[in-house]
Structure 1
Amino acid sequence: MRILVIEDDELTAQALTTILTAHHYAVEVAKDGKSGLALLDSFEYDLLILDVGLPDLNGIEVCRQVRSAAPTPDKPHTPQLPILLLTAYQSPHDRALGLDAGADDYVVKPFDEEELVARIRALLRRASSTGTPMLEWGDLELNPSSCEVSYGSTPLILTPKEYGLLELFLRNSRRVFSCGNILEHLWAYDAPGEEAVRTHIKGLRQKLKAVGAPADFIETVYGIGYRLKPLSNAALLTSTIPTSVEQEVRSKLGAVWTSYKERINEQIAIIERVACESDWTLQASATRQAHTLAGALGTFGFTEGSQIARNIEQILAGCPLKPRALTQLQELLATLRRVIDVPASSSAPICPEVTPAIANLATVQLPSILVISQDRDFLDALESEFLLWNYQCTIATTAKAVIKICQNDAPSLVLLDLDCFDSISTSMALLTSLQQCCSTIPTIVLTSHNELTERLEVSRHGGRLLLQKTTPIPQVLEAVSQVLQRALPTPSKILVVDDDIALLDALTVLLSPWGLKVYTLNDPHRFWETLETVSPDVLVLDLEFPDFKGIELCQVVRNDLHWNHLPVVILTAHSESETISQVFAAGADDFVSKPIVGAELVARILNRLERVRLVRQILDTDPLTGVMNRQKSTQELEAFLRSSDRSHQSVAIAVIDVDHLRSVNAQYGHAAGDAVLRQFGHLLQQSFCSEDIVARWGGEEFVIGMYGVTREDGVQRLMQVLERLNQQALTTENGEIVHVSFSAGVAQYPEDGKDLKTLYRTADLALRQAKRLREETHSQHTISSILPAESDVVLKS
């Protein structure tokens, strides 16, 4: 497994490298945030260990950038990369900042080796398809805690790379790995060629065969790579027991400490110059050295030294230092010198064993709704209705409980009763907190009032939808369902056509745990009507049917204008080159030989789905700004209007125009204009909820769709965006600062139009009047540049 460490303290980085290498991890180190991000852009990693106090770009910002990064074809899983923050900052506020930024775990320096490695194993387990500490495949067992491997009762002696290969396969037992994938996971900078992978695979197969495993225990999958094969019973042999890595780790840590002892003395000398010579120019540097020592010393067994360094850091943070503080600082430094001159303890303090929860990945999780209310009658009615809708319900009555629940076990949606708290300000503060710590969780607000000011407050603080508390409970649940449908990912649909009913049932069981919605058909004569009804993401066809061939069905699909891009996988019992050629000539994307091996079929289907997702992303996204394009947003906006008809909710449509973009192109060049549009699109994405629709319709024109929002609420949201835009300057590729603004018109469905075309025209008319008003009055006021469709200016026109 490949781990990236971003740590500016060389001593701590070397210690981490020593520990992790001894546990068979491939480790790379970056000394600052920018270098770390560059490595993440270039290579794929299984885990990121991140210091907070980094130069230039701190760890919190690095964490945020990793989480907000868009997946790419060669690194689709980077935004979900497990992140472990490793820092000397230990206050609850610092922990909250790190976890809110997207970190998965938080370890305070000085760290205990046993606890750190256990937490790393836990994070890797969560990220992989295996949930148990002991990795098993038939008679093979691998214990990540002790790095021991055995087949049956026979231990296996493996090289570090052979161990890494086996662990990679076991943690991803259903996945097929190409040579390139294996190189990315197991090697650092000095990656060899693919021939080295084949050599290690060959050596591992020979060792497994020597202890009784089948010769094809690690199987070659034609055209893809390697994977584990289901095992049969095998004879057991005996061998020697592998030695523990614990003594080796401690020996290597001792060598690291010896090589860096002089560096530690230099760091202490900088602090002494402040304490003894009153060299105040070094106070900032001394504070940083103390912070570094607080994290590093405990790693090598100097627990007391780490605490002393932490106390020194706190004293140095005061400005200016009083005589009493200087005296205390000198005493602490003298104690620190005595402590580090004593050999580090041979065994680090043992922390309680961390036992992570074991997740059942095959279990389908029901949507969980967090309800914030103290109204007993309302809660009783709601809970009864939740049972009918198959939703899980959690109730909270205090703001503190809400934040804790969202951080520990994030719900699918929050339902907030404004009457739960004494004042509206408390409710709004909670809404703001939810947006800061759990911005992806949609919030529906219930209110007993129907005032514009309250609606504006809810909109400003991130509420997704506002309902009257008198709304019938079934309608409330209907609104919850609609919001969840927009917020939750839709499972990919697979249509399998085969006349063997037993095989169809088996494939349903095999594919469903992977989050795939499987539809089966055993009568090929109903193929076309089923295809149009299901509208699958991948089509799986048997090669032979009683009346016609699967190849013919594939050709029918390829000849249709609507379906000709649908991925098709052929199932065949024939593996002759002539049959394979016919399959691909008919337009199939892939084939799987019968008898079907589950892991191979899953790997090929997931591969097709990933390509479909990337193609859709290209087709649905404006390449310059990264927001939706006109075609995709039109479909989504039409869906908004249909949903509005069912739930009787308003929809606001805003048309936005970047002012004077032609002047920017004329003065700075079209590349500068493109840079302005790109940054403006990013600003819009940051300013609106994930359920809102943000799109570019061409040139400098953008369109925003806001569900459950009135035209007045929409104007308020756009005014906030304009204020943010006025507070920051956009830059060209050459670093030149460009100040831009925008004008907008907002229309409301259904009051200003019964269809999208009419709504767009109405909002565009308001936009043109806003531009004219601003030019005639030479006004810089935000209100003059954003007009609702029902304003006096628009109505008079």
Structure 2
Amino acid sequence: MPKPVSNEVSSKLEALKQKFLDKAVVECDALDAIAQSITDAEACYEQLEQAYRILHRLAGSAGTFGFSALGEEARRLEVQLKPFLDGDSQTSPVLPSDISPELSQRLSGLRGLLRLADTAEPQTKSNFPTARVEQLILVVDPDPGRATQLTSGLSLYGYRFSWLPSVKEWQQRPENVPSALIIRDDVFLASGGECAELFPGLPIICLGAADSYPRRYALAREGAEAFFCDPLNLPLLADHLERLLTDHADAESGRVLIVDDDPELREHYRLVLTNGGLEVETVTGDPARLLSVLSAFRPDIVLMDVQMGEIAGPALARMLRFEPEWLSLPIVYLSAEQDREIQLEALAKGGDDFLTKPVSDSFLLRTAKIRCYRAKQLDKLVSRDSLTGLLKHSLVKTEILKEHARCQRLKHQSAVAMLDLDHFKQVNDNQGHRAGDLVIKGLANLLRHRLRKTDIIGRYGGEEFIVALPECSLKRAVTVLESVCEDFAKITFEGNSGEFHVTLSVGLTTLSAYASSEEAIEAADQALYGRKRAGRNGVTTAS
């Protein structure tokens, strides 16, 4: 059996694929412009040569990154275009009139092939390259029509789905590993624990026609993590699904710094934790080295020996607390010391927990994961908006300030946008504040799924949001955010007066075009007001 790809290698491959996508999108923009020139009979030699170079690169690299259809079409277009560049004239190449329309159309069609990866998995409607992996949700429902209605509603949030009429038909393959299970409650209870065996550790959401406390208790006893009663409130279900997926991901990941002067033990701990899915960095007790690694690695927790030669762990922990940014960093001591009084004294000097050596590998891994999870939860309380889970006002402005500095330094384009829910006061007044909260959460979830991991998303205040799209042209940003507006308007919410829809207005500008991030945000805000005056529900760019 081939050795499975490690998380690190898989992550590096995904990063390379993302770089390919980012560049390919820019190149498709250039091909669009050239296609228009061909249509207008204004294409010059330099433009056709540029198109040929782009096609040659795509033909050679697209298949490697899982876009065979794109590579094959680029190869065919490359071959078709080459004869027109081999002539003597380099000023006004002549394309036959019967070839020009087809060539122009096929050049423009290359962008659509960016959505067709070899796995044939459905992509989000936006052509925007995304580093976010579309999570697969397994739906088990004997009624195919009911399942289709469910998946159609939830697909707006960026998930992909696999449907089965019963659990017994499940056959796991490498390409269909689900992130969560949505199942009818009677099917789940009738499985007799089979779901827990087939999907260990998977978030399970049950749906049912009738609600009662005995029913809920039975579902919870069998391992379900949520229950929703018909008729379904899809935005509420989507919000709960997002929270479960985030919590499960946080519980299985984390960053751990190991401080120990025993090289063999240090490496053993590293291997155990790395194999368990955690990111690990190791150092000895050298204070200078420790501070530099802390700043670069930014761990969720620190595992520290109590005595490391001449270095005392408690003194080192106390030194770390000198810096305000490390006051809340959890420090867990690892020591052979069994005297409870000495352990308590060590905890009093800057530690948070004490593990007595020797500690089993499984116990160490579980402790590290739990501690990392709690640390991330506490960090979210400080840095994230409690309703949406997005960055708070002050922090998102700080991140956009950093991105503006990158634009100035690296000379690339980035976009910044202000987003505002239309007629939101009427939503609260007519549908109730609970429904209003669901609308805000619905937009937050949609943005998380439609934008890249590298994009900056924050709640600016009330019903207003702000996003920054690094290394993204204004044209591309318009396409992305128009898609967000279109799909958000399709989401059906439920309130005091029944079902309703909400639209979204966006003001957009180029971050790098302004002397400061504050000026760019103000320009995007003015563009937002322009969108409101123009009728709402769409995107307006700053003049």
TM range (shorter): 0.5 to 0.7
Whether the 8 Å CA contact 1:537–1:566 is kept in 2: the answer is yes
Which moved further from structure 2: 370-379 or 639-648?
A: 370-379
Partner of 2:317 in structure 1? Answer: 554
Partner of 2:528 in structure 1? Answer: 767
Q: 1:419 to 1:590 in 2, by over 3 A?
A: farther
Distance in 2 (CA, whole Å) between partners of 1:506 and 1:513 is 11
Secondary structure class of the residue paired with 1:394: helix
Q: 1:432 to 1:593 in 2, by over 3 A?
A: same
Distance in 2 (CA, whole Å) between partners of 1:766 and 1:651 is 16
Q: CA deviation at 1:520?
A: 0.9
Residues 288-343 of structure 1: per-residue CA shift (max 9 Å, x gap)? xxxxxxxxxxxxxxxxxxxxxxxxxxxxxxxxxxxxxxxxxxxxxxxxxxxxxxxx
Letter in 1 for 2:116: S
Unaligned regions of 5+ residues in structure 2, if any?
Answer: 25-51, 81-102, 132-249
- What TM-score comes out, normalization by structure 2 length? 0.56
Whether the 8 Å CA contact 1:493–1:519 is kept in 2: the answer is no
Partner of 1:738 in structure 2? Answer: 500
Secondary structure class of the residue paired with 2:328: coil
Q: 1:491 to 1:518 in 2, by over 3 A?
A: farther
Letter in 2 for 1:786: V
Residues 1:680 and 2:443 are matched in the alignment: yes
Q: CA deviation at 1:720?
A: 3.1
Partner of 1:540 in structure 2? Answer: 303
Residues 206-245 of structure 1: per-residue CA shift (max 9 Å, x gap)? xxxxxxxxxxxxxxxxxxxxxxxxxxxxxxxxxxxxxxxx
Partner of 1:621 in structure 2? Answer: 384
What aligned pairs does 1:495-514 form with structure 2 within 5 A after superposition?
495-514=257-276
Secondary structure class of the residue paired with 1:433: coil
Letter in 1 for 2:314: I
Q: CA deviation at 1:507?
A: 3.7
Secondary structure class of the residue paired with 2:520: helix
Q: CA deviation at 1:639?
A: 4.6
Distance in 2 (CA, whole Å) between partners of 1:462 and 1:416 is 23
**Count of residues paired in the alignment:** 366
What aligned pairs does 1:347-426 form with structure 2 within 5 A after superposition?
357-359=2-4, 364-365=9-10, 367-368=12-13, 369=16, 394=64, 398-399=68-69, 423-426=106-109
Residues 265-308 of structure 1: per-residue CA shift (max 9 Å, x gap)? xxxxxxxxxxxxxxxxxxxxxxxxxxxxxxxxxxxxxxxxxxxx
Whether the 8 Å CA contact 1:693–1:705 is kept in 2: the answer is yes
Whether the 8 Å CA contact 1:396–1:402 is kept in 2: the answer is no
> More relative contact order in 1 or in 2 (CA 8 Å, sep 6+)?
2
> Which residue of 419, 427, 440 maps to 2:110?
427
Distance in 2 (CA, whole Å) between partners of 1:532 and 1:416 is 47
Q: CA RMSD in A?
A: 4.4
Distance in 2 (CA, whole Å) between partners of 1:696 and 1:758 is 19
Q: CA deviation at 1:760?
A: 0.6
Whether the 8 Å CA contact 2:510–2:520 is kept in 1: the answer is yes
> Which residue of 284, 289, 294 maps to 1:521?
284
Residues 1:789 and 2:542 are matched in the alignment: yes
Residues 1:721 and 2:503 are matched in the alignment: no
> Which residue of 642, 647, 671 maps to 2:434?
671
Residues 626-655 of structure 1: per-residue CA shift (max 9 Å, x gap)? 444334433543454354456533111111
Partner of 1:650 in structure 2? Answer: 413
Residues 1:605 and 2:250 are matched in the alignment: no
Distance in 2 (CA, whole Å) between partners of 1:495 and 1:702 is 35
Distance in 2 (CA, whole Å) between partners of 1:709 and 1:417 is 29
Whether the 8 Å CA contact 1:745–1:764 is kept in 2: the answer is yes
Unaligned regions of 5+ residues in structure 1, if any?
Answer: 1-355, 384-391, 404-414, 442-458, 466-488, 791-797
Distance in 1 (CA, whole Å) between partners of 2:253 and 2:59 is 31
What aligned pairs does 1:176-195 form with structure 2 within 5 A after superposition?
none
What aligned pairs does 1:78-89 form with structure 2 within 5 A after superposition?
none
Partner of 1:25 in structure 2? Answer: none
Q: CA deviation at 1:610?
A: 2.2
Task: Report % sequence identity.
Answer: 23
Letter in 1 for 2:499: I
> Which residue of 305, 316, 332 maps to 1:569?
332
Letter in 2 for 1:432: R
Q: CA deviation at 1:713?
A: 3.4
Q: CA deviation at 1:701?
A: 0.6
Distance in 1 (CA, whole Å) between partners of 2:449 and 2:504 is 16
Distance in 1 (CA, whole Å) between partners of 2:78 and 2:497 is 50
Q: 1:675 to 1:606 in 2, by over 3 A?
A: closer
Letter in 2 for 1:765: Q
Residues 1:757 and 2:515 are matched in the alignment: no
Distance in 2 (CA, whole Å) between partners of 1:685 and 1:758 is 25
Q: 1:586 to 1:437 in 2, by over 3 A?
A: farther
Whether the 8 Å CA contact 1:495–1:539 is kept in 2: the answer is yes
Distance in 2 (CA, whole Å) between partners of 1:462 and 1:697 is 23
Secondary structure class of the residue paired with 1:432: coil
Q: 1:549 to 1:748 in 2, by over 3 A?
A: same
Q: CA deviation at 1:585?
A: 3.1
Residues 344-402 of structure 1: per-residue CA shift (max 9 Å, x gap)? xxxxxxxxxxxx7552759855733567999799669999xxxxxxxx99277841889
Q: CA deviation at 1:699?
A: 0.5
Q: 1:579 to 1:381 in 2, by over 3 A?
A: farther
Q: 1:380 to 1:743 in 2, by over 3 A?
A: closer
Q: CA deviation at 1:508?
A: 4.0
Residues 420-469 of structure 1: per-residue CA shift (max 9 Å, x gap)? 9961354233223349955789xxxxxxxxxxxxxxxxx9523469xxxx
What aligned pairs does 1:583-602 form with structure 2 within 5 A after superposition?
583-602=346-365
Distance in 1 (CA, whole Å) between partners of 2:361 and 2:64 is 38
Letter in 2 for 1:766: A
Whether the 8 Å CA contact 2:527–2:540 is kept in 1: the answer is yes
Letter in 1 for 2:524: A
Residues 1:461 and 2:127 are matched in the alignment: yes
Distance in 1 (CA, whole Å) between partners of 2:438 and 2:410 is 40
Whether the 8 Å CA contact 1:432–1:462 is kept in 2: the answer is no
Partner of 2:343 in structure 1? Answer: 580
Distance in 2 (CA, whole Å) between partners of 1:746 and 1:436 is 34
Q: 1:556 to 1:523 in 2, by over 3 A?
A: closer
Residues 690-712 of structure 1: per-residue CA shift (max 9 Å, x gap)? 44333211101111222333334
Q: CA deviation at 1:609?
A: 1.6
Q: CA deviation at 1:578?
A: 1.7
